[in-house]
């Protein structure tokens, strides 16, 4: 999304990780007796970047707040903004936040350096990255990228390791056969492509949707099988937070997945919730002038986070991540240089909350979404 491996997957420094491991604060601060029905609990949520567009915080947190799912779970969620997924993991590790939907790469890198963070629920499950070129440029396959320049968001973002892995998958030497140039996203990235500064872009699907809604056209190169099943945004907490605030984290995840299901059924109503919680998305414009395009962009993101097949009524196993998916994700991160060895899956991944997370009444959420004002 950031997005999937969108924002900040650069490696955490050893010194920063050591400091985070040593500090951490009181992970139980802000907790209450809500689990026993005596009050509302506070959960601190780290958002990986400022919310200026339709993305995961709209589909989960904003909808959960505006549609009453957080209230149903007796939760008061406070948010902080960070500068990318690495910073979001740092916030969780330091105790500044209880939970964050962060890139799997940032979580894996932190675990490798000894930071006691643990993944507790998946979010983005369908690989969101694509290589795109302008039509008519003669670039039809990954092999055609030899000697070309690929625009990435930044060399510290997830687009850089993706671009290298894409080239490597085609038998190219990612260090010699392609050049990666930082071009950002949006109009800046498009300008780099149209001016010939780069020959292709490595962006996430949501970013392309934003440009396509302005009338731009792209040719997309097909991703190889190595990208199937790789995980991206994943909810992470500190190990001690999981112990001390297990009930609160369970309820937060349940509310978030309710929000995601609602968004899948009625993305327009979800987008309106997003405007209420994150008015900066509107950039001073009227909602009526933005809603159509913003809904389309949000819908693109939602498709990365729900099953690729089936209707909302059939969605189950909220937050589940298979061992195979973790292995494929770790293999990809090793090949991209994000981590250097296989992770200890038992320490990295704890799915013990998901049985209780998935107990919500999906039919009621779907009915609420269907009856919401578009």
Q: How far apart are CA 242 and CA 349, in angstroms?
A: 12
> Helix/strand/coil (H, E, C) string of the chain?
CCECECCCCCCCCHHHHHHHHHCCCCCCCCCCCHHHCCCCEEEEEEECCCCCCCCHHHHHHHHHHHCCHHHHCCEEEEEEECCCHHHHHHHHHHCCCCEEEEEHHHHHHHHHCCCCEEEEEECCCCCCEEEEECCCCCCCCHHHHCCEEEEECCCCCCHHHHHHHHHHHCCCCCCCCEEEEECCCHHHHHHHHHCCCCCEEEEEHHHHHHHHCCCCCCEEECCCHHHCCCCCEEEEEEHHHHHHCHHHHHHHHHHHHHHHHHHHHCHHHHHHHHHHHCHHHHCCCCHHHHHHHHHHHHHHHHHHHCCCCCCHHHCCCCCCCCHHHHHHHHHHHHHHCCCCCCCCHHHHECCCCHHHHCCCCHHHHHHHHHCCCC
Q: Out of 173, 207, 227, pick the residue that ends a domain.
A: 227
90 and 148, same domain (yes or no): no
Domain that holds residue 260: 14-126+231-370
What is the pTM assigned to this prediction?
0.85
The structural domain count of the chain equals 2
243 and 219, same domain (yes or no): no
Question: What end-to-end distance do the CA atoms of the chain give, in Å?
Answer: 25
Per-residue pLDDT of the chain (374 residues; tens, 9 = 90+): 334 333 334 434 434 444 444 343 333 333 333 344 558 999 999 998 888 889 999 999 999 999 999 999 999 999 999 988 889 999 999 999 999 999 898 999 999 999 999 999 999 999 989 999 999 999 999 999 999 999 999 887 778 889 999 999 889 999 999 999 999 989 999 999 999 999 999 999 989 999 999 999 999 999 998 899 999 999 999 999 999 999 999 999 999 999 999 999 999 999 999 999 999 999 999 999 999 999 999 999 999 999 999 999 999 999 999 999 999 999 998 887 889 999 999 999 999 999 999 999 999 999 999 999 76
55 and 145, same domain (yes or no): no
Residue 92 falls inside a structural domain: yes
The structure tokens 């924002």 sit at 7
45 and 159, same domain (yes or no): no
CATH code (residue 43) = 3.40.190.10
Residue 159 falls inside a structural domain: yes
Q: How far apart are CA 369 and CA 213, in angstroms?
A: 25
């Amino acid at each position: 999304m950031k997005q999937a491996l969108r924002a900040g997957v650069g490696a955490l420094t050893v010194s920063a990780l050591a400091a985070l491991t040593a500090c951490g604060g009181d992970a139980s601060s802000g907790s209450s007796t809500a689990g026993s029905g005596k009050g509302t609990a506070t959960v601190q949520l780290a958002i990986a970047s400022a919310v200026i567009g339709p993305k995961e915080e709209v589909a989960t947190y904003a909808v959960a707040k505006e549609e009453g799912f957080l209230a149903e779970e007796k939760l008061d969620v406070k948010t902080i903004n960070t500068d990318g997924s690495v910073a979001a993991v740092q916030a969780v590790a330091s105790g500044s936040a209880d939970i964050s939907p962060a890139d799997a790469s940032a979580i894996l890198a932190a675990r490798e350096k000894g930071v006691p963070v643990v993944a507790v629920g998946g979010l983005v499950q369908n690989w969101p990255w694509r290589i795109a070129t302008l039509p008519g440029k003669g670039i039809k396959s990954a092999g055609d990228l030899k000697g070309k320049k690929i625009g990435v968001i930044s060399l510290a973002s997830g687009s850089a390791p993706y671009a290298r892995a894409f080239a490597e998958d085609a038998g190219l030497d990612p260090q010699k056969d392609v050049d990666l140039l930082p071009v950002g996203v949006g109009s800046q990235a498009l300008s780099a492509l149209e001016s010939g500064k780069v020959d292709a872009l490595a962006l996430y699907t949501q970013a392309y949707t934003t440009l396509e809604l302005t009338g731009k056209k792209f040719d997309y190169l097909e991703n190889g099988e190595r990208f199937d099943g790789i995980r991206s945004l994943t909810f992470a907490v500190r190990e001690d937070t999981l112990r001390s605030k297990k009930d609160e984290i369970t309820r937060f995840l349940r509310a978030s997945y309710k929000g995601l299901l609602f968004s899948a059924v009625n993305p327009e109503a979800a987008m309106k919730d997003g405007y209420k919680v994150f008015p900066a998305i509107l950039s001073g414009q009227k909602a009526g002038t933005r809603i159509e395009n913003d809904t389309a962009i949000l819908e693109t993101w939602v498709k990365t986070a729900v099953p690729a097949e089936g209707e909302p009524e059939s969605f189950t196993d909220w937050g589940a991540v298979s061992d195979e998916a973790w292995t494929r994700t770790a293999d990809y991160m090793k090949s991209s240089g994000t981590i250097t060895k296989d992770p200890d899956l038992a320490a990295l991944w704890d799915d013990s909350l998901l049985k209780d997370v998935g107990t919500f009444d999906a039919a009621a959420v779907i009915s609420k979404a269907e009856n919401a004002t578009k």
